[in-house]
Each structure stands twice: as C-alpha cells, then as structure tokens.
C-alpha cells in the first residue's frame, strides 16, 4: 500500500468515525432546545417525551397502573437517600420506582429558618415546574406549608425559609438534588399528572422500619410532625 492509499484510508476512517460520533450524540445527548433560559414547560415535554415516555409508560404498564396516572406521590427518605415514586390506582397506592438522591444537605430534623441548609420534613405539594432551572429542571414545593408556618409564628421565627425544590444536578443547599436523568423523568411525570395531583412526603428516615424519633434538642412539635408523617406513610406499605 503506497502513501497515497494510506492517506485515503485514513480519510475514510476519520469520516466514518465522525459519522458514528454524530449518530451517538444524536441518540444519547439531550441538548437543551430552544436555548436554555427561554424554554417553556411545553418545550421540555416536547423534547424529552419521545425519549422518556415509552420507558415511563412501560413502568406503569408492568404494575397495572394507567398512564398518565391520576395521582402520584414522591416519598423522600433523607437517611436512606432515596425517593420512592408511587401512583394512585383506584383506592390503593402502587409502588412504581425508586430513585437515588444525588445530594442532600443538612441532617435529620425539619427546616427551621432561612439559610440553615436543612431539607424540610413534612407533607407537601408541588406548586410549580421550572424548565429553566440552573439545576437543569426543577419543581417547587409549598414550603413553608400551614404546619410549618403555624410553629414558625409560635416561635417567632420570621424567616422560616422558602424556595425549596426538587431539582437536577448534584448540589444541595436545602433541596433534594436528584441528578439530571432522574429529574427529567420526574418533571415529565409531574407535568403529565398535573401538579395539583402530586404529593411529596419528606421523612427523616423510613417510618416503615420503626417509629420516627426526634433528635435531642429538637422543638416539642417535631414529635407531632413525625406522627403526621408516619400516618401519611401508611399508604406506602411495601
């Protein structure tokens, strides 16, 4: 093989490698489209639905639950670093999938004030979806809820905190960071179920393994909070 043939073969190999790389990126890279910062919820759904929805709908089909579900719940376990996905099927709740939490800040115990980096504990609702989050995608919780505000006012804590999200990436300053792949699925699921039909229960640990016990020095009302969480968690009886 002369020098010219070698150059031709190298050129062909380079062209094939470039084509293969392009095909792989087309199949597996999820570029933000349109430009991040200007996309809508519908843009996100349109972009990820063809990639994710076949897999998500199969998960529901395998456990005999209709998709999209009428109601879903996320059961977050701080100590276990997990979020369980459950769906309502007529009168019962059915386990769908478990997600690992990529990052969580703080320790056992509820959030008390702005800047304490604590992840809240309690029973919450999703109140909004953010398609332009700096943490890829996110959903906002209704923290502080009525229970949180009641005891914040009682204890004269004027700044109990706000802006608590479930989001992508692996950085947390009081939120549940799920990583990008997980948040893409959860974002699409919440949009399909509609936010008013989505509950989020955040527990310090798994109450199905034993009673929740407040850490030493926690406020008196944490015991009542933990009883509320235990009662709500009864529907997640795996």
Q: Give the start-end residues of each E strand in the chain.
A: 72-77, 82-89, 92-100, 122-130, 138-141, 165-167, 176-177, 198-203
Task: Please give the Cα distance from 134 to 207 (Å, whole number).
Answer: 33
Judge residue 82's burial from the number of C-beta atoms within 10 Å of its C-beta, 0-12 exposed, 13-18 middle, 19 or more buried.
middle
Task: Please give the Cα distance from 190 to 87 (Å, whole number).
Answer: 11
C-beta of residue 79 within 8 angstroms of C-beta of residue 204: yes
Active site residue 9: no
Please confirm whether the linkage preceding 68 is cis (ω < 30° from 0): yes
Task: Please give the Cα distance from 115 to 202 (Å, whole number).
Answer: 19
Active site residue 47: no
Catalytic residue among 9, 117, 136, 167: 167
The DSSP symbol for 30 reads: -
Active site residues: 167, 175
């Amino acid at each position: 093989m002369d020098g010219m043939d070698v150059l031709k073969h190298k050129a062909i190999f380079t062209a094939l490698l470039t084509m293969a790389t392009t095909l792989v990126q087309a199949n597996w890279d999820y570029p933000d489209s349109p430009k991040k910062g200007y996309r809508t919820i519908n843009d996100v759904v349109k972009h990820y639905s063809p990639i994710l929805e076949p897999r998500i709908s199969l998960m529901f089909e395998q456990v005999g639950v209709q998709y999209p579900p009428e109601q879903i719940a996320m059961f977050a376990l701080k100590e276990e670093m997990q979020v369980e996905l459950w769906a309502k099927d007529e009168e019962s709740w059915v386990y769908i999938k478990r997600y690992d939490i990529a990052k969580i800040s703080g320790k056992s115990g509820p959030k008390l004030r702005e800047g304490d980096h604590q992840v809240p504990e309690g029973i919450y609702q999703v109140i909004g979806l953010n398609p332009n989050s700096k943490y890829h995608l996110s959903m906002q919780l209704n923290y502080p809820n009525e229970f949180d505000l009641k005891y914040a006012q009682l204890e004269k804590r004027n700044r109990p905190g706000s802006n608590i999200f479930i989001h992508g990436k692996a950085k947390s300053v009081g939120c549940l960071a799920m990583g990008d792949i997980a948040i893409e699925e959860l974002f699409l699921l919440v949009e399909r179920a509609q936010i008013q039909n989505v509950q989020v229960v955040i527990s310090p640990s798994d109450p199905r393994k034993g009673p929740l016990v407040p850490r030493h020095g926690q406020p008196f009302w944490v015991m009542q909070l933990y009883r509320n969480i235990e009662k709500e968690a009864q529907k997640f009886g795996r």
